[in-house]
Amino acid sequence: MRDARGAGFTLALAAGGTGGHILPAIAFGDWVSREKPEVRVDYMSGSRPLELEIYASSGINPFAMRASGSPAGAPFARSVARWGEMIASFRQARSFLKETSPDLCIMFGGYVSLPVMLAARSRKIRSVLHEQNALAGRVTKLADRIRVPIASGWDECEGLEPGHYAKVGVPIRRFRAMSRQEAHSILGTGGDGIGPVASVMTGSLGSGSLSEVLAELAKMEVFLTWTFFAIDPRVDAPQRAGANVTRLPKMWDISPVYAVSDILVTRCGASTLAEIEALGIPAVAVPWRGAADDHQMKNARLAAASEKILIWDELNDTLADLAEKIQNLYAVYCDSKSSKGNMLYNAGETCEKNCRLLWDFADSFRKGEVELEGRSLH
């Protein structure tokens, strides 16, 4: 094997499912391509159309395996079919890894990581798993049991013993710096003379319940002078949904939304929370309580260590509670009398730092230089 300082170093990145797994992989791969031009980066994914759409938005054509979802928790017939896909995906991954001969494989969690992790192990390819969430998923726990090194996006990774993981942060995208006026022009939302802006982030799969909350919130007297944007996968162009509510189509370059927003109301995928924290945008975090093992609430509680992030629990809190949190954040952190400055300036540093930490962690195991709790890279 040739070292990364010479030609021929190959890195395989496996991520699928939702943007929460895929976007950190793309962000990290982009950093590697910029900082380590001698390294070839290959991507591996599942077969869901959403996954391929996210990759395509970054100009990436991944090696797509048959896997289309996790067998766990699915109805019996679908679970059996998905286990069949997993077996087929293991064979596909093993063949792909044999053909490409990567020096290192990094999985970014989710169901796609399972066949890739087992294929890499069967071919004796050194591998690392990155867990974005504050709670270790099923595949992450399996990785821990078979002694695959784990990099965590948070100080805590519930479900793993201390010393069995290292915090590197979540790799985040680089955002385009732009004025508020330019962002409105890109979004097609006007922008002249509008009041405070709150944008609702529903995640790559969308959220009907959060959209309904927004519709009621926007009608409250205290928000009649506000403008609300909501990303809605069901629309293809900006669409008015009330006097002060505009639905925006799904977009993978979220820079314009971040640039126009004074306040965010967001689901609690780890990647989104990491981006918001890096950008310094005040936000109300609304965990999706149907997430596996309630991991979005665990993400939110760690993110709320930042004073700019407050939690609203849609199962137990009232609409008035949400309104109060938005108003409090705006009163403390925003200035309604002047145009907000561009808040994208400080994300680049976080992007560079987290990607470098993940690289250093993974590469040290590849070289056999560092171990966690006596754990080898296998």
The tens digit of pLDDT for each residue in 227-278 reads 999 888 888 888 888 889 998 988 888 999 999 999 999 999 999 999 999 8
Reply yes or no on whether the pLDDT at 376 is more than 90: no
Mean pLDDT along residues 330-344: 61
Among 38-47, 171-180, 255-264, the range scoring the smallest mean pLDDT is 171-180
9-23 pLDDT tens trace: 899 999 999 889 999
CATH T-level topology, domain 180-343: Rossmann fold (3.40.50)
Reply yes or no on whether the pLDDT at 378 is more than 80: no
Reply yes or no on whether the pLDDT at 377 is more than 80: no
Q: How is the chain split into domains, by residue range?
A: 9-173+349-366, 180-343
Question: What is the model's pLDDT at position 84?
Answer: 96
Question: What is the model's pLDDT at position 340?
Answer: 47
Distance of CA 257 to the CA centre of its chain: 16
Q: Do 9-173+349-366 and 180-343 share a fold? A: yes
Reply yes or no on whether the pLDDT at 152 is more than 70: yes
Per-residue pLDDT band at 147 (split at 50, 70, 90): very high
Question: What is the model's pLDDT at position 345?
Answer: 46
137: left (phi over 0), alpha (psi -120 to 50) or beta: beta
Higher pLDDT, 193 or 150: 150
Ramachandran angles phi, psi of 160, nearest 5°: -120, 150
What percentage of the chain exceeds 70 in pLDDT? 90
To 5 degrees, how large is the angle CA 93–CA 157–CA 31? Answer: 55
286-335 pLDDT tens trace: 999 888 889 999 999 999 998 899 999 999 999 999 999 999 999 998 85
Mean pLDDT along residues 130-155: 94
Residue with tokens 């496996």: 14
Which residues face 228 on adjacent strands?
A: 198, 245
Question: What is the model's pLDDT at position 98?
Answer: 97
Give the end-to-end CA distance of the chain in Å, rounded to a whole number.
Answer: 17
Reply yes or no on whether the pLDDT at 92 is more than 80: yes
Mean pLDDT along residues 123-144: 95
Question: What is the model's pLDDT at position 373?
Answer: 58
Strand 245-248, strand 239-242: pairing: antiparallel
Mean pLDDT along residues 108-119: 94
Sheet harboring 245-248: ordered strands across? 239-242, 245-248, 227-231, 197-201, 263-266, 283-285, 309-311
Question: What is the model's pLDDT at position 7?
Answer: 45
Mean pLDDT along residues 197-207: 74
Determine whether 258 is exposed, middle or buried from the number of CB atoms within 10 Å of its CB (0-12, 13-18, 19+): buried
Reply yes or no on whether the pLDDT at 62 is more than 80: yes
Domain 9-173+349-366: give its CATH code: 3.40.50.2000
Per-residue pLDDT band at 208 (split at 50, 70, 90): low
